[in-house]
Amino acid sequence: MHLFQFIEICVGEFTLWPTYMSELLFLKDFTPNNILKVAAFFYGRGVPLGIASQVYNIYNNNGHHLVPYVMGGYYFTWFTHIDDFHQAQYYNVKDERIIWINGHNHSQFETVDPSESALFYLDCRTVDQSKILAIATLEFTMQWLREEEAIDIMDL
């Protein structure tokens, strides 16, 4: 299975991703806050850490060798704090709403009240590819993701 197919199965069709994710993947610098938003988006939909960090580094020209470690810190915190509420927020593409990442002992489908949303100011409309990047860059990256192996059946 290719990386692009795997990501779309987990998260949802790429053209339905929120604009803020495309901006974070393509245009933003490597900062803990930007990585937090990307990590929450992928973690909330169950994308494994290795694949999430690989996608970030493929998309982001500012990809950094520390991305797996920074993302891993967030993933570890969210996974191990099983009794915590409201650890992070992410836009759930399939449900078209902003959801809380809660500890495993609490609901994983708790909708964020707009007045509490840290993502509320971000653009959660679907990706308008022509406004974000030159279409050639987007197509190149998408082709790379389509050809990159996500899971090798022989490694299972």
Over the stretch 86-106, which tens digit does the pLDDT of each residue have? 999 999 999 989 999 999 999
> Does residue 129 have a pLDDT over 70?
no
19-65, pLDDT tens digit by residue?
888 778 776 677 888 899 999 999 999 999 999 998 888 877 656 78
What is the structure's pLDDT at 153? 46
117, 127, 47, 79 alpha-carbon torsion, rounded to 10°: -10
Q: Where are the domains of the chain?
A: 3-155
> Does residue 136 have a pLDDT over 90?
no
User: Is the CB of residue 110 less than 8 Å from the CB of residue 103?
Assistant: no
Alpha-carbon distance values, 91 to 1, 62, 118, 140, 147 (Å): 25, 23, 11, 25, 26
Q: Residue 108 half-sphere exposure, CB side, CA atoms within 13 Å? A: 12
**Lookup: tokens for 147:** 């050809």
Q: How far apart are CA 132 and CA 22, in angstroms?
A: 7
Contacts of 79 (CB under 8 A, 6+ apart): 104
What is the structure's pLDDT at 24? 81
Cβ-based neighbour number of residue 129 at 10 Å: 17
Is the pTM higher than 0.85? The answer reads: no
Which residue in the block uniquely carries the two structure tokens 């679907």?
A: 126
* Cα end-to-end span (Å), the chain: 12
